Amino acid sequence: MAVEPLDTRLKRLLVEHGPGIGRVVSGYVRNAAEHQDLMQELALALWRALPGFRGECSERTFVFRIVHNLGVNHITRRKPTEPPTEVPDPSPSPEGRAHQTQQRLRLMGAVKSLPLPQRQIIMLALEDCSHAEIAEVLGITVNNVGVRLNRAREALRQLLGEKP
Amino acid sequence: MTQDSEWTDLLQQWKGGQAAELPVDTLLAGVKRDHRKQVVAVAGELAAAALLVAVYTVELSNNPPPVIITLAVASLVFVAVWLTQLYRVTRGTWRAPAENGVSYLNLTLQRRRAAVRWLLFVQTCLWAALAFGMAWLPWKLSVDWEMYRAEPWRGLVGVGGYFFLLTALMWSIRRRLGRVTLELAGLEAVAPSMDA
**pLDDT per residue over B103-131, tens digit each?**
888 888 888 888 898 899 889 988 988 99
Contacts for A6 with CB less than 8 Å, ≥ 6 apart: A47, A50, A51
Confidence at A2, pLDDT banded by 50, 70, 90: low
- How far apart (Å, rounded) are the C-alpha atoms in residues A60 and A157? 27
Say whether both A19 and A69 belong to one domain: yes
Mean pLDDT, chain B, rounded, equals 84
- How far apart (Å, rounded) are the C-alpha atoms in residues A101 and A154? 23
The beta-carbon neighbor of A18 closest among B16, B22, B105 is B22
- Asked if residue B9 has pLDDT above 90, the reply is no
Residue A94 lies in a domain: no
Task: Provide the 3-class DSSP secondary structure of residue A120.
Answer: helix
Quick check: B18 and A91 in contact, CB under 8 A? yes
Say whether both A71 and A113 belong to one domain: no
Quick check: A117 and A72 in contact, CB under 8 A? no
A1 or B176, higher pLDDT: B176
B85 or A36, higher pLDDT: A36
Residue A116 lies in a domain: yes
Domain that holds residue A55: 1-79
Quick check: A90 and A19 in contact, CB under 8 A? yes
Residue of chain B with shortest Cα separation from A108 = B14
Chain A residues with CB under 8 Å of B18 CB are 91-92, 94
Q: Any idea what the Cα angle at residue B179 is, between residues B174 and B185, rounded to 5°?
A: 120
A2 or B110, higher pLDDT: B110
CATH number where A125 lies: 1.10.10.10
- How far apart (Å, rounded) are the C-alpha atoms in residues B129 and A136? 49
Residue A121 lies in a domain: yes
Say whether both A74 and A136 belong to one domain: no
Contacts for B23 with CB less than 8 Å, ≥ 6 apart: none
pLDDT at A152: 92
DSSP state of B157: I
Domain count, chain A: 2
Chain B residues with CB under 8 Å of A75 CB are 186, 190
In this complex, do B21 and A18 lie within 8 Å of one another by their Cβ atoms?
yes
Write out the DSSP string of B22-59.
Answer: P-HHHHHHHHHHHHHHHHHHHHHHHHHHHHHHHHHHHH
Contacts for A153 with CB less than 8 Å, ≥ 6 apart: A122, A125, B3, B7
- Asked if residue A90 has pLDDT above 90, the reply is no
Say whether both A75 and A103 belong to one domain: no
In this complex, do B30 and A43 lie within 8 Å of one another by their Cβ atoms?
yes
pLDDT at A104: 84
Contacts for A142 with CB less than 8 Å, ≥ 6 apart: A131, A132, A135
pLDDT tens digits for range A108-135: 899 999 999 999 999 999 999 999 999 9
In this complex, do B100 and A73 lie within 8 Å of one another by their Cβ atoms?
no
- Asked if residue A91 has pLDDT above 60, the reply is no
Chain B residues with CB under 8 Å of A73 CB are 108, 183
**Closest residue by Cα to residue B57 from B78, B74, B72:** B72
Say whether both A45 and A14 belong to one domain: yes
Residue A86 lies in a domain: no
Residue A28 lies in a domain: yes
pLDDT tens digits for range B173-196: 999 999 999 999 988 988 887 765
- Asked if residue A154 has pLDDT above 80, the reply is yes
Of the given ranges (A81-95, A142-156, B86-100, B150-164), which has the lowest mean pLDDT? Answer: A81-95
Distance (Å) of CA A2 to CA A5, B23, B181: 9, 27, 46
Beta-carbon pairs below 8 A across chains A and B: 155
A2 or B50, higher pLDDT: B50
3-state class percentages of chain A: helix first, strand second, coil last, to nearest 5? 70, 0, 30
What is the number of other CB atoms lying within 10 angstroms of the CB of residue B190? 16
Mean pLDDT, chain A, rounded, equals 84
The values of phi and psi at residue A79, to 5°, are -75, 135
Say whether both A66 and A103 belong to one domain: no
pLDDT at B83: 82
Residue A85 lies in a domain: no
Chain A residues with CB under 8 Å of B24 CB are 11, 14-15, 18
In this complex, do A7 and B28 lie within 8 Å of one another by their Cβ atoms?
yes
Chain A residues with CB under 8 Å of B35 CB are 44, 47-48
Mean pLDDT within B51-80: 82
Residue A124 lies in a domain: yes
In this complex, do A76 and B14 lie within 8 Å of one another by their Cβ atoms?
no
> Which ipTM did the prediction report?
0.80
Say whether both A60 and A114 belong to one domain: no
pLDDT tens digits for range A10-30: 889 998 888 889 999 999 998
pTM summary value: 0.78
Residue A92 lies in a domain: no
